[in-house]
Structure 1
Amino acid sequence: MSLCSFSSLATTTFPNFRRFKLSAVMASTVTTTKVHPAVIVGGGRVGKALQGMGDGQDVLVRRGDSIPLDFDGPILVCTRNDDLDSVLQTTPLSRWNDLVFFQNGMLEPWLESKGLKDGNQVLAYFAVSKLGESPIDGKTDTNPEGLTAAYGKWSLAVAERLQAGGLSCKVLDKEAFERQMLEKLIWICSVMLVGARHGGIPVGVVEKEFRSELCSLIAELASAAASEKGVTFEEAMEERLCAYSRAVAHFPTAVKEFKWRNGWFYSLFEKATAQGKPDPCPLHTQWLKELKIV
């Protein structure tokens, strides 16, 4: 999808699009500028794929190596979430605002603790099956324009790079990005937990054979997230997330990176318990305990 079409897309996807006019204007400028060279942290599947979308001027930095101080451009962080502290330690403080985080999960508490409340983030709805293979865009039958989104000072540069690699990317403001971040968090926490309950079956089998369980958990986590963060989600979330499950049907399921994913929803249970309130996520808590994850 050409990013020039973001305006027409947004009016369909977000009824209150007037709030996103600035993002639409910004996105409309993406098609003519060449890909901005970047430092890429992490030489795994995503890091290598992003490097392949550049023009040969990128600097690939392995985990633990220092980030160049004199390189003008975004720093694309493609490591595991648990490696983020070490990435900051090897990045000059003056470059922290150039870091672009591609990680899944709830990064907000960690970003805020590091003074990066408005840090650059990307919701990567694309898959790289094996090292060196071309990424596959996570377009779905409910969102054929694509779901990948970027936020922050380097969002346009990220969108340009992804477009050069044949992928879609929306440029969003903070409010819209937070909603989509929470929606993806809900997807990964729900589909992985339901799949793990049934032996680690693929995502597509979860959606096809255990859709009722999946949608019940999606609705529960969406309600809890909306209450905790004070956001209002667009309608038909269950259908959107089931559609994405069909698009990545081959993915295996497992509850991973608990601190960054399901752990955030479990913390809502702990907070409610401490305040003498009902668990906002009873199914989620029950199934975590059933699997002896908590």
Structure 2
Amino acid sequence: MASYKRVALSTQSAQRNTDETNLIHGTESTMASLTTLSLSSTSSLWYHCTKPDSLFNLRYSRTITCMAAATKVIPSIIVGGGRVGKALQDMGGGDDLLVKRGQPVPIDFPGPILVCTRNDDLDAVLQSTPKSRWSDLVFFQNGMLEPWFESKGLGDADQVLAYFAVSKLGEPPVDGITDTNPEGLTAAFGKWGSAVAARLEAGGLSCKVLEKEPFEKQMLEKLIWIAAFMLVGARHPGATVGIVEKDFRSEVGSLIEELASAAAAEKGIFFEEGIEDRLCAYARAVSHFPTAVKEFKWRNGWFYSLSEKAIAQGKQDPCPLHTSWLKDLNIVQ
């Protein structure tokens, strides 16, 4: 599939064309396989748009190619040559600069700096980036980054919540569109938010640009998703997130409720109703993902820090189930 031509299909343009909308939402039989987007599917939007004998290609290639040409992708520095970094580079126009881990970030290459490394490599990335360019950093990492941002004086740094998946290096990403959020969940925040959205849309992915408060809520929801599904899955060795959603819904639902309550109290926010349904819908969209409690400091560790703080103050643990299961797995003592 890597040899196929990349094309873009934005939600807004699709809504202006009834036939395209019907195809995207699977109301025509030739595209029924796209109604459920998951990594286990061998069909992708790019495949159907570019396969030579595809009906979709015959009827819509001219329209979509024009839309792709109209999408301006700003040349960027991409830090990290893994699955996400390579996918972002493929969405560009060939003018990006790929910087691998440990290499210096140049000062004279304008545009955003898309950081696609592991969380534990962020200190090294910052050290390799001229301080005058820190405001151009755009972080694609999962997890709770706010404490790290504050410790580095980064303030409201640009971030992207990437609700798409790249199964292997060089393969096209699959959008995390769900039955509860058919418009897509990927979101960007910050001064380069629109530039990131344009790049993702050029790659056939959805992306919305949010202000700080709604972005923070969505960031916390994704953090809850990772913490809850990974921990419940770790309790059942071999379980994927799809198995957790299907066979252990009651466990993960209880944990989602607990973590959401703790996060809302800590941040002074309210989550919209239906958070469990939204997070379970995403689990179905990426059902084959394996589960494991990783990058503890950035994920489950944030919730455990809330527990430690409350207990130190003589208060009840806001996340007793979470704490108990972490101890059962010997992740904490």
- TM-score normalised by structure 2 residue count: 0.80
Q: Secondary structure at the match of 1:50?
A: helix
User: Out of 141, 145, 164, which is 2:179 matched to?
Assistant: 141
Distance 2:299 2:176 in 1: 20
Distance 2:70 2:108 in 1: 26
Q: In structure 2, what is the equivalent of residue 150 of structure 1?
A: 188
Q: Percent identity?
A: 77
Residue 89 (structure 2) pairs with residue 39 (structure 1): no
Q: In structure 2, what is the equivalent of residue 77 of structure 1?
A: 115
Letter in 2 for 1:259: K
Q: In structure 2, what is the equivalent of residue 9 of structure 1?
A: none
Q: In structure 2, what is the equivalent of residue 20 of structure 1?
A: none
User: Out of 118, 121, 141, which is 1:103 matched to?
Assistant: 141
Paired positions, count:
270
Residue 10 (structure 2) pairs with residue 2 (structure 1): yes
Tell me if structure 1 keeps the 8 A contact 2:71–2:202: no
Q: Secondary structure at the match of 1:150?
A: strand
Shift of 1:115: 1.1
Shift of 1:3: 5.8
Q: In structure 2, what is the equivalent of residue 132 of structure 1?
A: 170
Q: In structure 1, what is the equivalent of residue 98 of structure 2?
A: 60
Shift of 1:32: 4.8
Shift of 1:255: 0.1
Q: Which moved more, 1:193-202 or 1:259-268?
A: 193-202
Distance 1:33 1:195 in 2: 40
Letter in 2 for 1:64: G
Distance 1:244 1:62 in 2: 31
Q: In structure 1, what is the equivalent of residue 40 of structure 2?
A: none
Shift of 1:33: 4.8
Q: Secondary structure at the match of 2:138?
A: strand
Aligned counterparts, 1:1-294, within 5 A:
2=10, 4=12, 32-294=70-332
Shift of 1:200: 3.6
Shift of 1:113: 1.0
Q: Secondary structure at the match of 2:265?
A: helix
Distance 1:125 1:263 in 2: 21
Shift of 1:65: 0.3
Tell me if structure 1 keeps the 8 A contact 2:161–2:219: yes
Tell me if structure 2 keeps the 8 A contact 1:127–1:137: yes
Summarize the Cα distance change of 1:105–1:133 in structure 2 as closer, same or farther, 3 Å threshold: same
Letter in 1 for 2:327: K
Q: Which moved more, 1:110-119 or 1:93-102?
A: 110-119
Q: Which moved more, 1:33-42 or 1:220-229?
A: 33-42
Tell me if structure 1 keeps the 8 A contact 2:239–2:290: yes
Distance 1:93 1:117 in 2: 14
Shift of 1:116: 1.1
Q: Which runs of 5+ in 2 are unaligned?
A: 1-8, 14-68
Distance 2:157 2:238 in 1: 34
- TM-score normalised by structure 1 residue count: 0.90
